[in-house]
Amino acid sequence: MACSGTERPSEPPSPTPTPLAVRAPAADPLTAVIAEHWRTAGVEPVGEVDDPGFLRRASLDLVGRIPTLEELDRFAADPRPDRRAVVVDALLASDEFAAHWSELLTDTLLEGTSDRPRLRQALQDWLRDQLRARAGWDEIVTDLVTAQGSEDAGAAAFLAAHGRGNQVEALTGQTARAFLGLQLQCAQCHDDPDGRFTQPEFYGLAAYYARTKVRLENVDGARVPKIVDRRRGEMHLPTEHDAPGDRSGPRVAPGFPGLHATPREDETRRDALARGLVTSALLPRAAVNHAWARLFGRGIVEPWDDLGAPVGTEHPPLLTWLADDFVAHDHDLRHLVRRIVLSPAYQRRAEGPEPGGPDAKARQQAFAQAAVRPLPASPLLRSLLVATGLDDVHGRAFAKGVDRRRQQLRRDYAQAFDDDEGAAIDDFGGNVPQALLLLNGELTNQAVGASAGALQLLLRTEPDPSVRIDALARRIYGRPASPAQQRALRSFLDERGHDRAAYEDAMHAMLLSSEFLTNH
C-alpha cells in the first residue's frame, strides 16, 4: 500500500505560496537578517508551507501533538491574513505549551543523569509553573543555580541530579552546556585541544560549587533534595597521581572567562555564579540556539551546545540578533519561540525542486527549506491520542497508560542506545525505527480498535468509503487524502470487503507512514 511503511505518502501539489510580505513584512528586521543569512549561504529559499502544514508543524513544536479536527476547521475558516500569528499566540498561551516545553527543558537540564522519576517530575512541574507565570529565562537560571534547602524541591532537582555524591565535575559540565552553550567536558582531564579553554578554567567554574552539598532526605515518605552551602570548601586541580574523583593539586579560585562573578561578602559562591551567568553574552545565545534547534532540528550553530570559546567567538548575525532581541524582551521564552515560529525561515516547505540533492541539503542547513524530523516519543504518543480520537473519550485513563509507556520507553532507549560516555537519550533525537517499535504494539492496537475511538464512530456514521478515507487522513495527516492515497486505500478496502478489520489495518498503516511519524 502506498501509505504503509516508512515511505513518505504522495501529497497533492502545494498551492501557490502566499507572498512572504503577508507573513513577515519587509519592515520586520528579522526578515532582513534571515534574507542576508540565505544570501551569505548562497541559497534560494523554497516556497512557503501551506496553512494545514504550518498548523501541524507549529502544533507539534509548540504543544507536542498534531492539531485536532476542531483546530483544523477553525484555522481553515479564519479569513484574517494574520491567522498564523493568531493561532501561534493561542498555542503559546495554552497550558499545553507550558507542559510540553517544561518537558523539553527538563530533558536538556537533566541530560547525562540516570533516570530518577521523582526528581524529573519535580523539576518538570516547577518549570511548567515558571512558564505559566512567564518567568524570564534569567530568573529560571538564577533559581536553578541558587536553590537552597528542601522547600524548593523542583528548582533544586537540577543540582540534586548532577551534584549528588559531590560529583562537581558533572554539575560543572552541565552548567556550561545548558546555560552557556559550551562543551567543557574534556577539560576535566586536559586543556581543550582547540585552545578554547583550559583545565584550570574548568575547575575555576567548578569552584563556584565547591561549598555546595547535595543530600536527599526523607520528607513525608518522599526523597527530597536538600541543598546546603558550607562555610568552607575549596576546589583543587587533579594531578596524574590522583585516584578517580580525587583532586590534590593547586587550589583554584572561582572564576571563568567572560563571567563577571567574583563572590562578594554578602553572597554565596553560587549567588555569584548566577549573577555572572545571567549577565553573560553567552546565556541568551545558548537559549536562542537551543530553542532554534528544538524548532528546526539543528542549531544556528551546530551542535546547539557548542558555541565555541567562552569569549571572543564570532557567531552568525542571525544568532546575535535573536539573542539581543531575547534580552530586550526580558528573556521571555514565549517571545523567543514566537519570533522564530513566525519567521520566514520556519515557514518554508519541506519539499524542494530536487529532493535529497546537494542543493536541498544546503538549503536545509541554511534554514531555507524545512527538514523532515522524526517525532520523538512524547509528541508521537500524544499525536496518537489525537489521531485515534482517544483524547476525547476515556482519555484520562488511556493518557496515564501512555505516560507510563513513555517513561518505560525512556528507560528502554537509555539501555539500548546509551554509549560508553554516558550520553543521555533525550527526546531531541527520535528516529523512525524507534517510532515503529513504539507504534507496533499493544498501545496502538488498543487505540485503533477502541470501540469508542474515532474509527469506530466513523464506521457507524459514514457509509461512503471515500469520505471515510478523507476523514481518517484529516485526523492523521491534517489534510484530506491525496488522489494516490485514495486509490491505494480504496483498492485495499475493496479487496478486504470493507469490514471493520480492513479499516483498522488501513488506519494502522497510515499511522506507520512517515508522514505521520515525522514533523515536516
The pLDDT tens digits of the residues spanning 37-86 come to 999 999 999 999 999 999 999 999 999 999 999 999 999 999 999 999 99
Q: d(Cα 136, Cα 329) in Å, to the nearest integer?
A: 9
What does the domain layout of the chain look like in residue ranges? 25-97+282-371, 135-274, 377-519
Q: Map grid coordinates 501557490 to a residue.
A: 16
Q: Which residue stretches of 212-354 are H helix?
A: 269-278, 282-296, 317-328, 333-341
Kindly report the average pLDDT of the chain as a whole number: 85
Alpha carbon distance 204, 272 (integer Å)? 13
Amino acid at 473: A
Determine the pLDDT at residue 12: 38
DSSP helix/strand/coil, 153: helix
The answer on pLDDT for 195 being more than 90 is no
Residue 203 clears pLDDT 70, i.e. is over it? yes
pLDDT value at residue 445:
75
Could you tell me the sign of the dihedral formed by the alpha carbons of 178, 179, 180, 181, in that order?
Answer: positive
Q: Is 331 left (phi over 0), alpha (psi -120 to 50) or beta?
A: left
Residues in the chain: 520
Cβ proximity of 183 and 299 under 8 Å: no
Is the model's pLDDT at 3 over the cut of 50? no
pTM of the model: 0.88
Q: Is the pLDDT of residue 391 over 70?
A: no
